[in-house]
Structure 1
């Protein structure tokens, strides 16, 4: 169940970040409440994943790293933000780092 909570936390955090972008510097007020709700849900689900016994280093590392990668990809698709080959390489490095953290937790 911890992994389901973590996956939900990641999706909620990314949704909150996309909503943050849509607030346009808090000028588009309609997106503020969804942004806050998504971030609140993300932290709640992250805390629930920790309650299941998932190590904080693993949970936070995966949450942050996968969130960064998904945010970069979605920002490219939704907002036409740049996604250069170096950024792509960084996403690959993030995935490698997450795998190392996860497998290291079980060593």
Structure 2
């Protein structure tokens, strides 16, 4: 496996770990519930370890932009599906702009290694 592909795999797993950790953060009820609180710590730790692995082959700015953009979209989706939260038009537009920014960066930036 190429170093770049391995980095993107690590980044993907880091994003999933962070989203799961954030979901447990909601369930921890401000760290008053032990098991969800422990899950937050485990998944956030895994997310940062995996992100550090991704940074071996990806520039920090690129990795973090992807991490933040995809993480926001997935976390918003979890909020809607799991926690029954609603998103208004402005929130949806903002999420669409974030996705567009990540796509533009990936498709057109010479900073991103393909």
TM-score range, shorter chain: over 0.9
List, as ranges, runs of 4+ consecutive aligned residues in structure 1 with deviation greater than 4 Å: none
Instruction: Provide Cα deviations, 1:10-33, integer angstroms capped at 9, x if missing partner.
Output: 000000000000001112222111
Per the alignment, residue 32 of structure 2 pairs with: 27
Structure 1 alignment gaps of length 5 or more = none
Contact 1:73 1:83 in 2 (8 A): no
**Using the alignment, how far apart are the partners of 2:46 and 2:22 within structure 1?**
13
Superposition RMSD in Å: 1.4
Instruction: Tell me, in whole angstroms, the C-alpha distance in 2 between the residues paired with 1:64 and 1:71.
Output: 10
Q: 2:94 is matched with which residue? A: 90
Given candidates 78, 81, 84, the residue that maps to 1:77 is: 81
Paired residue secondary structure (1:63): helix
Q: Deviations over 1:32-90 (max 9, x none)?
A: 11110000000000000011x21111100000111011101111111111211221111
Cα distance in structure 1, aligned partners of 2:72 and 2:21? 12
Is 1:62 aligned to 2:39, yes or no?
Answer: no
**Aligned residue pair count:** 106
SS at match of 2:85: coil
**Equivalence for 1:5:** 10
TM, length-normalised to structure 2: 0.87
- TM-score, normalised to structure 1, is 0.92
